[in-house]
Structure 1
């Protein structure tokens, strides 16, 4: 299923005819406040038990046009937003030049795969622009786009075996890991408000069964900058989940950005970004 959050964080199924409301089908009260919306984390955890009922309601319900709904980020208040560093070989190669230009040197440890944390408050949705921090712009620092496949965790867990990792996934969505280039810690440079835009909806893992067979593309103002296939991830989705869970307990609704493809580049006020991931959809964002 394609599941969206829209208007006051209502749950809907995205069909060819439009968005079918589903909040009334859940066994818990709908709470529109993202800070207290425990119903969302319960849905992430309990979706396999609710799948058949939600699918039936989606098929029988009356849809509204997607264009009339205000789409929100298809996630609510995760306990953690994790992101993968150096997870495509061509991106690792291009970062040598980027670091020489923006840092004056190459930081070797940053060329190795690892995971780091981003602030959950950096999440934004399809209807919100990416807002560049005025002080960063005034300082002349580059701010880059990084289009990525994003994992939304289902039942979570600790020390998850690689062979069981995909059973812990609720779904997948499109995300951009917006990044200030500079000497500060990754989390510091990637956690500004609107620096984790996601959307336009998520595709549940029962429909998207192979996250290693997806095409990712990004254009800026109509110019193609990024194009990659997820089969070329250095650390694939199951290994990412297992690795992260050895360091910290993953909880329902947590997000994992799987890594930047090659072709990262600067964004500026007035730019229009367009990211597509096959079998998920497209995300169009303005930069202000």
Structure 2
């Protein structure tokens, strides 16, 4: 099942990648359109298995609305945190030596090791929004890079989750861009500007994806291929990432985990058009300004 948030943060089931059916009324609890107080969303992430039959019936019986007639929102509401994974593809680690030499004048060895860090939830934006480059960053001449990634949407959550059980705690998967300023500053600061976490176009539930290690991630800038990789090339796979993160912080339903940048990162500039896709999930087309 593919679940989208649209218009006034209503819940839709995407059909054939071309339309959606509004299934908000099939939820067994009240729908709160305010993203700040929308606890219904976290409850859906936690309890989706118990309502999936009702959502499927509503999708089969409801009216299909073409996607071009709705405004898709980021498929996440007020997550308690965005966890991001660093240095999780060997070829990306290799390319970052050259990127850091060019942008910092040195290589930071500690940044070449796998780990996790946090991004501000306020950096989230949806598939209908442009990426906005901060004026001070542009004026300072810093490069701003795209990083297209598979994103885990936490379901039941928990702490100290065993790697063997980790996928049972996943509600689904979506696509995210970890937009990054290349400068001499903390990762969280450089990656947390507004619109620096585009997310979408919807969530494909975990039961439909199955094993997340066989997905293809692609990103083009102005029609030029930049990134093309399979998730099986991750150094640390999704179950291990979920388990590792849960040892440091309790994962809460609706939290997001960016699983790491594939190789092929590069600068984006005002006027660029980005097309990003992940097999089994969908595609986003974003502008830069």
Q: TM-score, normalised by structure 1?
A: 0.99
State the shift of 1:23 in Å.
0.7
State the shift of 1:271 in Å.
0.2
Q: What number of residue pairs does the alignment pair up?
A: 288
User: Which SS does the other structure have where 1:135 is aligned?
Assistant: helix
* 1:233 alignment counterpart: 234
Unmatched segments (≥5 aa) in structure 1: none
* 2:15 alignment counterpart: 15
* 1:217-248, Cα deviation, whole Å (9 max, x unpaired): 00000000001000010000000000000000
State the shift of 1:173 in Å.
0.4
State the shift of 1:148 in Å.
0.3
User: Which SS does the other structure have where 2:84 is aligned?
Assistant: strand
RMSD: 0.6
* 2:36 alignment counterpart: 35
Return the alpha-carbon distance in structure 1 between the equivalents of residues 85 and 183 of structure 2. Answer: 18
More displaced 10-residue stretch of structure 1: 61-70 or 238-247: 61-70
State the shift of 1:18 in Å.
1.4
User: Which SS does the other structure have where 1:144 is aligned?
Assistant: strand
Return the alpha-carbon distance in structure 2 between the equivalents of residues 52 and 33 of structure 1. Answer: 26
* 2:243 alignment counterpart: 242
User: Which SS does the other structure have where 1:20 is aligned?
Assistant: strand
Structure 1 runs (4+) deviating above 4 angstroms are none
User: Which SS does the other structure have where 1:24 is aligned?
Assistant: helix
User: Which SS does the other structure have where 1:206 is aligned?
Assistant: helix
Q: Is it true that 1:87 corresponds to 2:88 in the alignment? A: yes
* 1:253 alignment counterpart: 254
User: Which SS does the other structure have where 1:128 is aligned?
Assistant: coil
* 2:3 alignment counterpart: 3
Return the alpha-carbon distance in structure 2 between the equivalents of residues 153 and 182 of structure 1. Answer: 31
* 1:82-101, Cα deviation, whole Å (9 max, x unpaired): 10000000000000000000
State the shift of 1:210 in Å.
1.1
Return the alpha-carbon distance in structure 1 between the equivalents of residues 132 and 156 of structure 2. Answer: 33
User: Which SS does the other structure have where 2:21 is aligned?
Assistant: strand
User: Which SS does the other structure have where 2:37 is aligned?
Assistant: coil
Return the alpha-carbon distance in structure 1 between the equivalents of residues 36 and 2 of structure 2. Answer: 23
* 1:136-163, Cα deviation, whole Å (9 max, x unpaired): 0000000000000000000100000001
State the shift of 1:175 in Å.
0.5
Alignment of 1:134-145 (within 5 A): 134-145=135-146
